[in-house]
Structure 1
Amino acid sequence: MLEVVPGDVGAQHVRLAISPLEEVLNAVRALARPGPVHARWAAANRTAVDVPELVTLISGDVYFPDFLSPPAGSLEAQFEAIVRTPPDQVRREIEMSVAGRDVPPDMFADPAAARDLLAAQMRECWTALLQPIWPRLQDVLDTDVDHRTRQFREGGLVAVLTGIHPGIVVAGPSILLPTVYSGRLELDSRGLQLIPSVFAPRLGVMMVPPWQPCLVYPARGSATLWEDAPPPARDALAGVVGRTKARLLRTLASPASTTALATRFGVAPSTISEHLTALVAAGLLTSRRVGRSVQYRRSSLGDEIVSNAT
């Protein structure tokens, strides 16, 4: 259990961010320990990368090095931060990661060499595992960030944290988080970074100095990521609006962008855009700009039609 004490200062310095390299780490762990949501993806990608040192380092149950997922920024900025990590910091975090585990003592004997090798392996995993599906992942992550941002505006940090996990409770001035790591975190002017992850199986924390305190949590909508099955052959809704529009209506119980939908359906974005435009014009979908993308989801009329057609 982790006790977080926001304080007056720390509670005002909370940031939601997407971390591509945190997603890489959780994806690599998911290859070895896939839950039911990602089992099909893991089976298809289990031999896609050969990164034994990285797998060894992040296979523990308590901690894996924070320097491999520096505070969120662009992908290239994160890679640059890895290779700039001082060797003493690398050695410290590797020792924390392998403590009490049966790891060959010479595997990470040279921290600078280990850092550069691990950075190369992280890039290999990004290219092979995540880059091809990043638009789909980013759509889920962007939607989560938008939701948490609205929660923060309406109820502050407490509203966001208690909405992230049912096991998070407020106890006076503290917030208790059910994490593997136990300790106490008093927020200061560095604040707290909240990072959603599609592949994260549970809450995780980054607390080792000098990194900014971070909480990694499973993103909303992760369970719908691979829902790309076509509708039943005898589909009354498809008989009226067509198969693609029927699939869109069923899919858009949760928001998604044109790019993510095109990737999920395996068709051109222009084709998806044409169907979305028609459904919005009919009042069956709503649209909302989130950052640089437009998110679509079913309207109340669309909900009613899908419900009655099921």
Structure 2
Amino acid sequence: MPFQLRFGKDDLLRCRFAVSPLWETQEAVRTLNRPDRHGYHAGWLRRIRAAAEGLDLAPLWLLMPRQGHTPDWLSPPPIGPAAPFEEEIAAIRGADPEAARDDTARALADTPGASGSALGRALLADPSRTIQRLADLLEAAWHALVEPDWPRLRALLEADVAFHSRRLAEVGLGGLLPELDRRFTWNSGTLTVDARAEHVRDLDGRGLVLIPSVFSWPDVVSGFDPPWQPTLAYPARGIGGLWTEPTGRASDALVRILGRGRAAVLTALDEPATTTALAHRLRLAPSSVSAHLSALREAGLLVSRRYGHQVLYERTPLGIALASGGT
């Protein structure tokens, strides 16, 4: 049963991309309890097994029904395009207790027996304590499960946003949305999502937040209810190579695909580096390295960030997979 989001003219001006460490932490927690999501994340699961065993995630899992409502107060839309986790968790800690209780009760109702369980009753009995308890648990999950890999995850997510931002400029919103996920269709100002729940919503000028996600695969995760801005999280591009480790040298196959110069630059980026540093390391002219970096970035294999007067380049997970010979 599909759900539909109806756009007005003002909504088209209020659509934005965002990257959210909080949403990624939520979906990482959910992934641990969802074997159908494990396929792309075997390396991560092996690495965090001991840390996960040290967390009591049962209160969060109880509010993550397989089908149904997850409390919006636990996963509000990102504050900005790239808000740090500390700002996002502070917003959760500031949730209104009564609104949080009603939202929690709705989620519990979507899991048979949850409302009447001892844990469910405890979550409803003292909403102020529940807010702090679950915020503490999410923060612990962030530090144990996601933060150690956040630079790699962020690189993939930002590369996805950069790619789709370019596509937005080329094909417009109506052309872009169906490209984000095969379950999205666009017709006459209405976005239809092929999902397990039926829902029709007029956006009423509030627009839509689009969040690429690593751990949500294969699902599309949504949030619509006021006062929150409508939000859709979709599986990010390139997660197949996310956990592949680089080998440290350019393979012959990579040279054939990219050419010797670009393959050398991609392989040399085993850690973030500037154009000048790469040119010195590879004994190439800075202008040649700069041209290779631009081509690799446009292909979604690198991202760049400015730190003061320097611009550092680093591989996306897709670039890591290519550099290591992964597919």
TM band (smaller chain):
0.7 to 0.9
Partner of 1:69: 75
How much does 1:276 deviate?
A: 9.6
Q: 1:98 to 1:251 in 2, by over 3 A?
A: farther
Partner of 1:301: none
- Which portions of structure 1, spanning 4 or more consecutive aligned residues, are displaced by more than 6 angstroms? none
Partner of 2:212: 196
How much does 1:251 deviate?
A: 11
Query: How far apart, in 2, do the equivalents of 1:80 and 1:5 lie?
Result: 31
| 1:210 equivalent in alignment to 2:198 | no
Q: Tell me if structure 1 keeps the 8 A contact 2:153–2:214.
A: yes
TM-score (norm 1): 0.78
- Stretches of structure 2 that go unaligned for 5 or more consecutive residues are 298-302, 317-322
Query: How far apart, in 1, do the equivalents of 2:273 and 2:215 lie?
Result: 25
Q: 1:17 to 1:277 in 2, by over 3 A?
A: farther
Partner of 1:25: 26
How much does 1:275 deviate?
A: 7.6
Question: Which structure 2 residues correspond to residues 50-199 of structure 1 after superposition, within 5 A?
Answer: 50=55, 51-73=57-79, 74=83, 75-101=85-111, 102-103=113-114, 104=117, 105-108=120-123, 109-199=125-215
Q: 1:251 to 1:114 in 2, by over 3 A?
A: farther
Task: Give the counterpart of 1:35 among 38, 48, 58.
Answer: 38
- % of aligned pairs identical? 30
Q: 1:153 to 1:283 in 2, by over 3 A?
A: closer
| 1:249 equivalent in alignment to 2:263 | yes
Q: Tell me if structure 1 keeps the 8 A contact 2:48–2:145.
A: yes
Residues 248-276 of structure 1: CA deviation (Å, up to 9, x unaligned): 939959xxx95xx53xxxxx868xx5389
Partner of 1:226: 243
Q: What is the one-letter code of the residue matched to 1:65?
A: P
Aligned residues: CA RMSD = 3.5
Partner of 1:45: 48
Q: 1:275 to 1:191 in 2, by over 3 A?
A: same
Partner of 1:286: 293
Residues 236-294 of structure 1: CA deviation (Å, up to 9, x unaligned): 479x9xxxx99x939959xxx95xx53xxxxx868xx5389637836883335755465
Q: 1:214 to 1:282 in 2, by over 3 A?
A: closer
Question: Which structure 2 residues correspond to residues 263-302 of structure 1 after superposition, within 5 A?
Answer: 274=278, 278=282, 281=288, 285-287=292-294, 288=297, 290=304, 292=306, 294-295=312-313
Q: Tell me if structure 1 keeps the 8 A contact 2:211–2:232.
A: yes
Aligned residues: 282
TM-score (norm 2): 0.75
Q: 1:195 to 1:282 in 2, by over 3 A?
A: closer
